[in-house]
Copies of this chain bind each other. A is one copy, B any other.
Amino acid sequence: MTQNVNEPFSEAEVRGLYRAIHERRDVRSQFRPDPIPAAVLARLLQAAHHAPSVGFMQPWDFLVIDSVSIRKDVLAIFDSENEKAANNYTGEQGANYRSLKLQGILESPLNICITCNRSRGGTHVLGRNSIVETDLFSTCLAVQNLWLAARAEGIGVGWVSILNQAQLSQTLRLPPEVYPLAYLCIGYVSEFLDQPELQAKGWRSRLPLEALVHGSTWGERLQDQSLHKALLEIEKTV
């Protein structure tokens, strides 16, 4: 992208990174049907592919799901799981839950499933001897790269997590060693909301950052009082 990777980022470049982080949303309702041009989609997939991975394992694959028939099958899995989930809530919370739109499987022009091949790289993957789940964690990092790149391109992404993974694997014909880590709906949007939808709808609020930051061990106060002050200060800005 640039000739010299050690060139400091310009002010606008830094701003672009932080904009993507702060203005990214989990989109369910604002998808427009316009197709994503191939060159743009290639940039998003390449961004995902350049995520960090344990031992440079690169355990991910990408299913670009345009088939409406496959998407209808996935929606049926969602509907069944979501009905079970709704039954966890009663009264006002139950009504609130049922009023939320939690997927855009058919409204978005494209779905992408990012998978994790748990056998890639053989028996001993460097750095994966102690924590075997690091392959799944690596694949998550690819998801976030794609999500942020999409945001910079003006494209929304929504992660559908209310799915039965065994049924999804069958629908997508995944081999047994391949885990469907993230099922994403993706497309241009009518607008990006100015705050997370679950917060806007009163489901749950953002936690105060400074309450989540500890010192060297759990519950220990920060040694550095200037960091504590900076955390309180920065909360006012977003």
Contact = CB atoms under 8 A, between A and B. Distances in A.
A181 interface: yes
B129 A84 contact: yes
A106 interface: no
Given A42-B230, A131-B163, A64 B192 contact: no
Contact of A5 (B1, B84, B141, B192): B192
Given A14-B16, A154-B9, A63 B217 contact: yes
Given A173-B217, A217-B70, A47 B21 contact: yes
A159 B238 CA distance: 28
A75 interface: no
A128 to B, nearest CB: 7
A105 interface: no
A137 B163 CA distance: 15
B54 A130 contact: no
Of the candidates A17, A84, A192, A222, the one having the most CB atoms from chain B within 10 angstroms of its own CB is A17
Interface in A18-64: 18-24, 26, 38-39, 41-43, 45-47, 49-52, 54-58, 60-64
Q: Specify how many copies of this chain sit in the oligomer.
A: 2
A143 B145 contact: no
B6 A192 contact: yes
Contacts of A99: none
B19 A2 contact: yes
Contacts of A81: 129-130
Contacts of A91: none
Interface in A47-98: 47, 49-52, 54-58, 60-67, 70, 81, 84-85, 88-89, 97
A143 B142 CA distance: 11
Contacts of A173: 217-220
Contacts of A162: 127, 129-130
Nearest to A182: B137
A149 B8 contact: no
Contacts of A141: 140-141, 143-144, 147
Given A10-B12, A18-B43, A149-B18, A204 B63 contact: no
* Pairs of residues from A and B, 6 with the lowest C-beta to C-beta distance, nearest first: A13-B16, A16-B16, A140-B140, A12-B12, A67-B216, A42-B230
